[in-house]
Amino acid sequence: MRFAKSQTGALALLLGTTLAVGISGPALASASRTAGHPPATCPAGTLDGTGLRAAIADLPTTEATSAQVRLTTPAGCWTGANGVGDLRTGSPVPPDARFRIGSVTKVFTATVVLQLAAERRVDLDAPVRRYLPGLLTADYDRLTVRQLLNHTSGLPSPKQPDDIEWAIDHRYDHWTQERIVREALRNEPVFTPPGSKQQYTNMGYIVAGMLIEKVTGHPYAREMQDRIFGPLGLRDTSVPGNDPTIRGPHAHGYQTVSRNGQTELVDVTNWNQSITPAAGDIISTLVDLDRFGAALFGGRLLPAAQLDEMFTVPQVDDLDGKPAVYSVGLTAFRLSENEVIWVKSGSRYGYSSAIAASRDGSFRAAFSITSTDAKGDEQTGVSGAIIGAALALR
């Protein structure tokens, strides 16, 4: 789901809805937990996919070369794909194609930190320095683990050139977590004190990934495998580390670039994702994301107290003075007075994706679009059409 950089305004404009304000877990109705294991394929005729099929019918276009969609409702499920998987050969999107999920990674990271909290190995209200002494500067002595996860840390990001050509030229660069944090902390805090404002950022989750490794004594990728991928049978989901490729069947991702007065598409499928560890680096599929969402919202990955953290938005404002919308790992969107959809979108060059679900998990959506400007300010028309068609079937 391609939002503007704030990841809030575009969906609200598309749906003509009001952003969720002051939402907390206990205040929400419908806390039931459905724990079904979604099927790999949707039986024909279980859900009318006419609207979804129309949403992706015209691909490829100048803004997207392909799309995959999966929707589950109490009435059934629908999955489909369209477009070109490889512009060079004209081949279609492979079945069960893998893709970069971008910031949807944060939901996985938040889940593992909350598992550690349930095991009493991490205190969400403890300062980060208890677990990672010496990593952060004195500005962040009171920064808590919870504030890392709900985007109220005030941590700055490393500064890089805002230039697509520079990004493409450096797409194989290797970054360590320590280097990312070191370069980020050369900049002033976004706000002080921690916990007083909200701004969406990767940095809290990069540090959270380091915390997972410190507390468990294991690499982040191993904890993901042992705690989530393996138990749920997510065989097509992985943490790529420094491997720039997408292993297994996948659609190629492309980026629009202007060169010498002409626009061309550059294949950006291969890209080292070490710049966004634990915040945006995971590779997955629609089926695996749906299984993860069903297990998470169904209460199979977290006890009730920790799961409620994912449905609790801090009572602070963002930098523009608007009420916060981000919880631990998710984003809250109010569709009506009594209905909230919980969303996480993500983008890496060449790929835009999202998951969304109702609080009880009975409505779940996941999609991936190979957007030709996935990191741009505006969402694609195809993502808006998918969102509208999906919500019409909820």
Three-state secondary structure readout of the chain = CCCCCCCCHHHHHHHCCEECCCCCHHHCCCCCCCCCCCCCCCCCCCCCCHHHHHHCCCCCCCCEEEEEEEEEECCEEEEEEEEEEECCCCEECCCCCEEECHHHHHHHHHHHHHHHHHCCCCCCCCEHHHCCCCCCCHHHCCCEHHHHHCCCCCCCCCCCCCCHHHHHHCCCCCCCHHHHHHHHCCCCCCCCCCCCEECCCCHHHHHHHHHHHHHHCCCHHHHHHHHHHHHHCCCCCECCCCCCCCCCCECCCEEEEEECCEEEEEECCCCCCCCCCCCCCCEECHHHHHHHHHHHHCCCCCCHHHHHHCCCCCCCEECCCCECCECCCCEEEEEECCEEEEEEEEEECCEEEEEEEECCCCCEEEEEEEECCCCCCCCCHHHHHHHHHHHHCC
Rounded to 5 degrees, what are φ and ψ at 43? Answer: -60, 140
Mean per-residue pLDDT for 73-99? 95
Mean pLDDT (the chain, rounded): 90
Spell out the residues 6+ positions from residue 22 whose beta carbon is closer than 8 angstroms to its own: 313, 315, 323
Q: Which amino acid is at 362?
A: S
Q: Which amino acid is at 207?
A: V
Rounded to 5 degrees, what are φ and ψ at 127? Answer: -65, 145
- Measured distance CA(203)–CA(280) in Å, rounded: 11
- Is residue 22 over pLDDT 70? no
Contact between 382 and 38 under an 8 Å Cβ cutoff? The reply is no
pLDDT in tens, 306-345: 999 999 999 999 999 999 999 999 999 989 888 999 999 9
Contact between 315 and 392 under an 8 Å Cβ cutoff? The reply is no
**What is the band of 100 on the pLDDT scale with cuts at 50, 70, 90?**
very high
Sequence spans of domains, the chain:
9-392
Mean per-residue pLDDT for 85-112? 97
Share of the chain above pLDDT 90, in %: 82
Mean per-residue pLDDT for 81-110? 97
**What is the band of 19 on the pLDDT scale with cuts at 50, 70, 90?**
very low
- Measured distance CA(148)–CA(153) in Å, rounded: 5
Examine the residue annotation and report whether 103 is marked as an active-site residue of this protein: yes
Query: For residue 44, what pLDDT is reported?
Result: 61
Query: For residue 41, what pLDDT is reported?
Result: 72
Share of the chain above pLDDT 70, in %: 89
- Is residue 2 over pLDDT 70? no
Angle between helices 203-216 and 177-184 (to 10 degrees): 140
The class level of CATH for 9-392 reads alpha beta
**What is the band of 26 on the pLDDT scale with cuts at 50, 70, 90?**
very low
- Measured distance CA(139)–CA(125) in Å, rounded: 17
Query: For residue 45, what pLDDT is reported?
Result: 63
- Measured distance CA(152)–CA(196) in Å, rounded: 7
**What is the band of 376 on the pLDDT scale with cuts at 50, 70, 90?**
confident
- Is residue 5 over pLDDT 70? no
**What is the band of 34 on the pLDDT scale with cuts at 50, 70, 90?**
very low
Catalytic residue among 103, 153, 327, 383: 103
Mean per-residue pLDDT for 158-163? 92
Spell out the residues 6+ positions from residue 19 whose beta carbon is closer than 8 angstroms to its own: 8, 12, 322, 323, 325, 332, 333, 334
